[in-house]
Amino acid sequence: MAPRTVEVGLNAAIVAVADGTPLVLVTPAEDGVADGAEGLPFGAFDPLLHRTFESGLRSLVGEQTSHALGYVEQLYTFGDRGRLAAPGDEEAHIVSVGYLALTRIEDSDGEPRETTDAAWQSFYRYFPWEDWRAGKPEMIDATILPKLGDWAAGTGSSAARTERLRLAFGASGLPWDEERVLERYELLYEAGLIEEAVRDGRLPAVRSELPLGRSMQFDHRRILATAIARLRSKLKYRPVIFELMPATFTLSELQRVVEAIAGRHLHTQNFRRFVENTALVEATGGSSARTGGRPAALFRFRKEVLSERPSPGIRIGRA
């Protein structure tokens, strides 16, 4: 039998925020793949055409979406056996290098950027249990925790699974940690409670009973979970949130974007006090009436903060 070959693919979780909704750019399903599920922009790395992985990613994304990337950082390499293969498949094994990219839907003139067949969709289309801005999602207590509890209790390693459940979903009095996005997704996958687990032939079919978020092609939802977790963590110690903001903004607009990414409501006065006292922003002298109420002061990111201290991020306190 001929040896299996390995190919390198490139995936991009391209994130933007519009009207208080955190968005990811997705592409239509490939023909015959994953029951029509959407996917992240993806393409093969070609060492003859692409000098680096990142240059290859930028080129592929431009071809697929007509969207030029701004901020980009590498996430992780995804290479589990079976991630793209079907039983009996003798094609090359695909190892994907995942990236997080931050951008804005509008260009510098405020006009929407054009895309090809790609579309912007909310994070919470794929991870509805992650959006706590209006309080704890009902599905957690009604569906997720009971099902995961049954799964944890049904094995010889129930103590370890129960502890993972407590940490990931903040059960038994533990606080919710917004950064554990990937851990929560992987628990749901292992328990067979999401469509990807059914598609991959893990536990018995639960597709019709538990539509827990929309599925994605291959392991693209796992890649997106990794990207969201990285972004939620990083905004606390680096000013990456400003990659998602226009050049000037009000403090209310900044708070809405932070809340959209973090998935929970923030105490307004504490947030404003923190942003102003840490000199992350500076007033422009202008004002905006975009909200329709009283004109609000306009601010901009103060770039000097990058050289003044090592961790100029946004504190996310409790509401």
Phi, psi of 27, rounded to the nearest 5 degrees: -115, 155
> Higher model confidence: residue 86 or residue 292?
292
Amino acid at site 209: E
Q: Mean pLDDT over residues 286-290, rounded?
A: 83
Measuring CA to CA, which residue among 41, 80, 264 is closest to residue 189?
Answer: 80
The confidence score (pLDDT) of residue 140 equals 95
Tens-digit pLDDT profile for residues 291-308: 667 889 999 999 999 888
**Could you identify the residue written with the tokens 């592409």?**
27
Q: How confident is the model at residue 32 (pLDDT cuts 50, 70, 90)?
A: low
Asked if the model's pLDDT at residue 205 lies above 90, the reply is no
pLDDT grade, residue 208 (50/70/90)?
very low
| Non-local CB neighbours of 279 within 8 Å, separated by 6+ positions | 302, 305, 308
More confident residue, 112 or 57: 57
The share of the chain scoring above pLDDT 90, in percent, equals: 53
pLDDT of residue 113: 60
pLDDT at 157: 72
pLDDT at 207 over 50: no
For residue 70, the number of C-alpha atoms closer than 13 Å in the C-beta half-sphere is: 15
